[in-house]
């Protein structure tokens, strides 16, 4: 059997199904008024998932196009940026964190430094006032700024 993405996925899904079923069976139910209870549904689903995965393992689809190295690196960078955005969102506040992340994201999507920086400034500043004043949404101003203001 040649290795296809679908086969790897199928095996992973069977693993997931087993995990789900084991977790469900181990649930401790203090008391129950109903004949079914919370276990049956996940167990049934995991059986269904296993059957479907087996079908996919024996009849995998075309392999699809996976990102080459340079793209995979970019993908990882975007993810790291989004993660950094999450971490910095409350720390630095909306304006500063958005400025940094938007500029970097725009740069990753092939904008020049100048364009990226302008996008970052416009989106973070106008966005902040649009969200807070016009829409009444409270956004973090940042611990870092709180000490100044």
Work out whether 100 is an interface residue with another protein (CB under 8 A): no
Q: What is the DSSP letter of 132?
A: I
Query: Which residues lie closer than 8 Å to 118 by C-beta, 6 or more apart?
Result: none
- Start-to-end CA span in the chain (Å): 65
CB of 148 to another protein, least distance (A): 22
Footprint of another protein on 40-69 (CB under 8 A): 41-42, 45, 48-49, 52-53, 55-56, 59, 61-62, 64, 66-67
Work out whether 117 is an interface residue with another protein (CB under 8 A): no
Q: What is the DSSP letter of 36?
A: S
Centre a 10 Å sphere on the Cβ of residue 117 and count the other Cβ atoms it contains: 16
The rounded distance, in Å, linking the Cα atoms of 51 and 2 is: 21
**Which residues lie near another protein (CB under 8 A)?**
5-6, 9, 13, 20, 23-24, 27-30, 32-38, 41-42, 45, 48-49, 52-53, 55-56, 59, 61-62, 64, 66-67, 71, 74-75, 78-79, 82-83, 85-87, 89-90, 94, 98, 101-102, 105-111, 115-116, 119-120, 123, 127, 131, 135-140
């Amino acid at each position: 059997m040649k290795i296809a993405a679908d086969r790897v996925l199928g095996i992973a899904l069977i693993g997931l199904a087993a995990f789900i079923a084991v977790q469900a069976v181990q649930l401790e139910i203090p008391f129950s008024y109903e004949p079914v209870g919370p276990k049956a549904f996940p167990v049934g689903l995991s059986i269904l998932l296993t059957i479907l995965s087996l079908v996919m393992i024996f009849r995998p689809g075309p392999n699809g196009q996976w990102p080459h190295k340079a793209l995979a690196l970019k993908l990882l960078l975007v993810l790291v940026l989004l993660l950094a955005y999450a971490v910095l969102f409350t720390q630095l506040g909306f304006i500063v964190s958005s400025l940094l992340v938007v500029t970097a994201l725009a740069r990753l999507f092939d904008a020049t430094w100048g364009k990226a920086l302008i996008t970052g400034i416009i989106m973070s500043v106008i966005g902040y006032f649009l969200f807070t004043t016009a829409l009444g949404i409270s956004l973090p101003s940042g611990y870092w700024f709180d000490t100044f203001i």
